[in-house]
């Protein structure tokens, strides 16, 4: 049985979403962040040496790292859905957006969130550069969703709701699809 170990208000929201999207059977185990440190509780940290969400278990297998978890679930349980193979004309785009999600977007949003907590001057060059990178990433998503029906990027809407980035004009079907969905 596939189990999603879901840490509230974390990147594991995307894995819950993925399982719902695929309509596969899974067990959801919820964990709350430590109210003081906002880090994962000890029982979450014990699941995998990296101690960060998401973590899934599938039988004896324990797997962490969002991209690996998403790829594993899609390959093992997706029955060909939500992935393209090398022969597909959009394969390169699929790969790009799949890896862009964590490699560029999430990485820069994470940096941005931390810098925002440091009360730096608004003209701090690192802050300015990081915000510009986040803006560029959302502009790119905005351009893509205006031309594509489907964006192979795991949702980042919770970060927008939490106000760690400004809401960008990513309009259209994708935005409507993610609005109203929340799991924490
Ligand atoms: N690159 C990793 C990042 C994992 C990560 O940093 N997870 C955060 C949640 S957004 C976490 O578990 N934070 C709590 C903690 O570190 O204790 C992934 O995508 O799985």
If you average pLDDT over every residue of the chain, what do you get? Answer: 84
Name every residue whose Cβ is closer than 8 Å to that of residue 166 and which is 6 or more positions away in sequence: 135
The span from the CA of 10 to the CA of 143, in Å, is: 26
Confidence grade of residue 152 (pLDDT, cut at 50, 70, 90): low
Distance of alpha carbon 173 from the chain centroid: 19
pTM as predicted: 0.82
Encode pLDDT of 2-41 as tens digits. 999 999 999 999 999 899 989 999 999 999 999 999 999 9
Residue 68 CA, closest ligand 1 atom number: 20
Backbone φ and ψ for 145, nearest 5 degrees, come out as -75, -15
What value does the mean pLDDT take over residues 95-106? 92
Residue 106 CA, closest ligand 1 atom number: 19
pLDDT of 37: 95
Whether residue 105 has its Cβ less than 6 Å from ligand 1: no
Q: Which of 6, 10, 108 to mutate to test the pocket of ligand 1 (most atoms within 8 A of CB)?
A: 10
Residue 96 and residue 167 in one domain: yes
Look at residue 19 and tell me if it is in a domain.
yes
Encode pLDDT of 48-57 as tens digits. 999 999 999 9
DSSP-derived secondary structure for 12-80: THHHHHHHHHHT---EEEEEPPPTTT-SPPHHHHTTSTT--S-EEEETTEEEESHHHHHHHHHHHHSTT
What value does the mean pLDDT take over residues 63-72? 97
Residue 104 and residue 68 in one domain: no
Whether residue 12 has its Cβ less than 6 Å from ligand 1: no
pLDDT of 183: 40
How many domains in the chain? 2
pLDDT at 68 over 80: yes
Q: When comparing pLDDT for 56 and 144, which is higher?
A: 56
The domain boundary residue, chosen from 77, 103, 130: 77
| Structural domain span for residue 127 | 91-180
Using the mean position of ligand 1's atoms as its centre, give its distance from the Cα of residue 2 in Å.
20
Using the mean position of ligand 1's atoms as its centre, give its distance from the Cα of residue 65 in Å.
8
């Amino acid at each position: 049985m596939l189990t999603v170990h879901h840490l509230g208000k974390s990147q594991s929201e995307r894995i819950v979403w993925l399982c719902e999207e695929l309509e596969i059977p899974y067990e959801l185990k919820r964990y709350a962040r430590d109210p003081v440190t906002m880090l994962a509780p000890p029982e979450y940290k014990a699941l995998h040496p990296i101690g960060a969400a998401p973590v899934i278990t599938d039988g004896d297998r324990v797997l962490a790292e969002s991209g690996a978890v998403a790829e594993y679930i899609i390959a093992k349980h997706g029955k060909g859905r939500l992935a393209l193979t090398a022969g597909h004309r959009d394969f390169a785009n699929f790969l790009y957006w799949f890896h862009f999600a964590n490699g560029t977007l999430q990485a820069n949003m994470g940096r941005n969130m931390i810098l925002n907590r440091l009360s730096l001057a608004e003209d701090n060059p690192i802050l300015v550069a990081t915000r510009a990178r986040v803006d560029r990433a959302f502009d790119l998503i905005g351009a893509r969703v205006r031309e594509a029906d489907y964006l192979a990027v795991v949702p980042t809407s919770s970060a927008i709701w939490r106000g760690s980035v400004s809401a960008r004009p990513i309009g259209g079907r994708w935005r409507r699809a993610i609005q109203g969905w929340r799991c924490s």
